[in-house]
Amino acid sequence: MAQRFGNIEIPVGTRFRTRQEVYAAGIHRHMQAGIAGTNPAAESIVISGGYADDLDLGDEVFYTGFGGRDPGSGRQVADQELRSWNWALMQNRNLGIPVRVVRGADPANPFSPDSGYRYDGFYEVVDFSPVEGRDGFRIFHYRLVRRPGQFDPWNPELEADDAPPRVLYTASRVARDPAIALAIKEMYGYRCQISGTLLHTPSGPYAEAGHVKPLGRPHEGPDSLANLLCLCPNDHIRFDRGSIVLSESLEIVAAESGETLGGLVMDDDHWLDPTLVGYHRFIWTELLNR
Amino acid sequence: MAQRFGNIEIPVGTRFRTRQEVYAAGIHRHMQAGIAGTNPAAESIVISGGYADDLDLGDEVFYTGFGGRDPGSGRQVADQELRSWNWALMQNRNLGIPVRVVRGADPANPFSPDSGYRYDGFYEVVDFSPVEGRDGFRIFHYRLVRRPGQFDPWNPELEADDAPPRVLYTASRVARDPAIALAIKEMYGYRCQISGTLLHTPSGPYAEAGHVKPLGRPHEGPDSLANLLCLCPNDHIRFDRGSIVLSESLEIVAAESGETLGGLVMDDDHWLDPTLVGYHRFIWTELLNR
C-alpha cells in the first residue's frame, strides 16, 4: 500500500458528509480510528477533537496517539502503548513520510469545517515524544506541520491563485524524495559511510541521507542514489560544510590539509556519480581556496 | 551594535524614497553596500537586482555576496573573498541570527516595490556555499527564507489580520533565543558536553544547543542556560530521542540498559536545573518503559 502515499488526486479542501465518504475516496481508510495505515508509516489522520491534549493551530497540530481513553467520558484511563498506529505515526517522522490530514466538524476548533469532514492536505510529523497527559497516564504526542504551498481551506477568502510566491517557494523545497532517502539508509543499515557510526535510538536507528551535489539552487544536484550518502549527523555537517571531500577514488580527504582520513564505505550495488563527487570537491577545495 | 538585532520597531512594509531614509531609520546602516553590519553577523541586506546570480522568490531569496563586480557592466570580473560582509552573512547562518531585508525598486522583480525602498522584515540565512558564477568567477551564494507570520508587503490584498493561523504558528516557533544558544556554545568552546566531540568546519566550529526539557508544547521547557546543553549533532539526536538520559548526579546513562556511560562535562558557571533533567529522564525512562 506504500504507493498510496502522496498519490491522492483529491483536491485539498474537498468536503465529505460522512466518514464512509472519506473512506470511499481513499483519503482515510479506516472507518473509526483516528489514525489509518501502519506500513511503513501512517497514511492519514482525522482530527476530530476527541483528546483533551490535542491542540489545533491550523498550520501546526499537536496530536495525541490512540488508546487508553474511555469512550464515554473521553478521559484517559490507561497508558497508551507504542505499537500499531502510534508506532506508525512515529515512523512518519523517522522516515520523512508526510501524513494526510482530515478535519471533522468541531464547534471548538476554528480550523474545522462547519459540518462533516474536509481533506486538508499533507502534514509533516516533525516531533514525537511520550508525555504524562492531563489525566496522569502516558500519552504520545506528535507535532505536525503543514507542508507550505497548499490551499488553506479554513480561509475562504484566500484562493490558491492568490499566493504565487508560496507556491514557487514550495516547488523549490519538495524536490526531496523520502523513498530515495530511505533506500540509501536501508542499503547501509543506517551506518555512516564516513565514520561507520550507527546511532541507536528507542525509536529505531537514525541516519541522514546527504546529497553530494546539493539539491536546489544554485547547485541543482539530482535526488538520486548516485548523488546520495548515508551519513551520521556529525559527518553530514562535516561533508555539507566542506570539512571533508571525496577523492576520485572515494577516499575521505580533509579539505583544508589535504590529508587522507580513510576510505568511504561503499556497497557493491551503490554507484556514486564521479561528476557529482568532483563538483563537491571543486566547490570546497579548488574554488574555496583559490 | 549587537543590541540592534531584532530591535527594530519599524513596521514591515514601510516605504522609503531613498537609501538615505533607509539609513536614517536604522534599517540598513550603510549608504552604498548591499550588506550592512559585520559583528557578530550581518544586520541587514538590500535586494536591488544587481547580481546576475540573484533570484528572488519572495519568501525565499538566493543572494550573492559582495565584491568582484565591475560597476559599469555589472559582470563578475574577479573572485569574491570570504571576509567582511561575506563572512558576516555566513555567520548569520552559523549563529542563527536573522537578517533584515530591504527591497529596492526593480522592474524585473515582482516582489520589489514600484519605487524607492521597502522594509520587508526578517529572513533566516539557511544555506551558504561557494559557487562558480555565470561569469566564471567564484561567488558566494546565500539562501534566505522569510520568517513566517510576517505581513507580506508584496501582496496588497493580504492584510496581516487576515492570517491568524500563521501568526499563532510563528508564535510557537520563535521562542528560541539565538543569543542564548550562542552563549551555551561559547561557554563550552563548541565542544560536546556528552562525547567531547569538536566539529571543525572551514566556516568555524559547529555545535548545537539542545534543550533538556523540550521547548514548546506539550513540554514547555524554558529557553535558558539552566535548560541547555552544548551538543554535537549525533549526541543531540541521542539525547532528544531518548537513547541517553542524565542521572541526578549528571552521569550519562543509556536509557534502555541503565548502563552509565560517563560523566557530563560541566563548566563551573553552568547550572542545570535538576527538575528539568528529571523531566527528561522521566519521559524517556520511567514513562516510556512503564
- Nearest by CB to residue A238, choosing from B60, B201, B256, is B201
Per residue in A69-84, pLDDT tens? Answer: 887 777 889 999 999 9
> Using CA atoms, how far apart are residues B98 and B43, in angstroms rounded to an integer?
8
* Record: contact B202-A243, CB cut-off 8 A: yes
The pLDDT value given to residue A289: 74
C-alpha distances in angstroms, A63 versus A141, A203, B237? Answer: 6, 18, 22
- Nearest by CB to residue B290, choosing from A79, A238, A241, is A79
- Asked if A26 and A8 touch (Cβ cutoff 8 Å), the reply is yes
Per residue in B167-220, pLDDT tens? Answer: 333 334 435 788 899 999 999 999 999 999 999 998 899 999 999 999 877 888
The type of residue at B120 is D
The pLDDT value given to residue B154: 83
Intervals of chain A under pLDDT 70: 1-8, 156-175, 290
Which of B129, B155, B211 is the mutation pick for testing A, counting most A CBs within 10 A? B129
Intervals of chain B under pLDDT 50: 1-4, 158-174
- Asked if A126 and A135 touch (Cβ cutoff 8 Å), the reply is no
Annotate chain B with DSSP letters as a single string: -GGGTT---SPTT-EESSHHHHHHTTSS--SS-SEE--SSS--EEEE-S--TT-EE-SSEEEEE-S-SB-TTT--B-S---SSHHHHHHHHHHHHT--EEEEEE--TT-TTS-SSSEEEEEEEEEEEEEEEE-TTSSEEEEEEEEEPTTS--TT-TT--GGG-HHHHHHHHTTTT--HHHHHHHHHHTTTB-TTT--BB--TT--B-EEEESSPSSTTT----SGGGEEEE-HHHHHHHHTTSEEE-TT-EEEETTT--EEEE----TT----HHHHHHHHIIIIIHHH-
ipTM attached to this prediction? 0.79
SS (H, E, C) A153-179: CCCCCCCHHHCHHHHHHHHCCCCCCHH
Which of A55, A59, A170, A190 is the mutation pick for testing B, counting most B CBs within 10 A? A59
* Record: contact A169-B203, CB cut-off 8 A: no
The alpha carbon of residue A172 and the mean position of all alpha carbons in its chain are separated, in whole angstroms, by 16
- Nearest by CB to residue B57, choosing from A53, A58, A165, is A165
Domains of chain B: 2-171 (2.30.280.10), 178-289 (no CATH)
* Record: contact B243-A199, CB cut-off 8 A: yes
Which of B241, B280, B281, B289 is the mutation pick for testing A, counting most A CBs within 10 A? B241
What's chain A's length in residues? 290
Residues on chain B touching A238 (C-beta within 8 angstroms): 199, 201
Residues on chain A touching B166 (C-beta within 8 angstroms): 58-59
The pLDDT value given to residue B279: 94
- Asked if A155 and B162 touch (Cβ cutoff 8 Å), the reply is yes
Per residue in A134-175, pLDDT tens? Answer: 788 999 999 999 988 888 888 765 444 443 333 333 334 435
* Record: contact B57-A256, CB cut-off 8 A: no
Model's pTM, two decimal places? 0.79
A73: closest CA of chain B, how far (Å): 22
Residues on chain A touching B130 (C-beta within 8 angstroms): 283-284, 287-288
The pLDDT value given to residue B160: 41
The pLDDT value given to residue B71: 78
Identify the CA nearest to A163 among candidates A12, A3, A5: A12
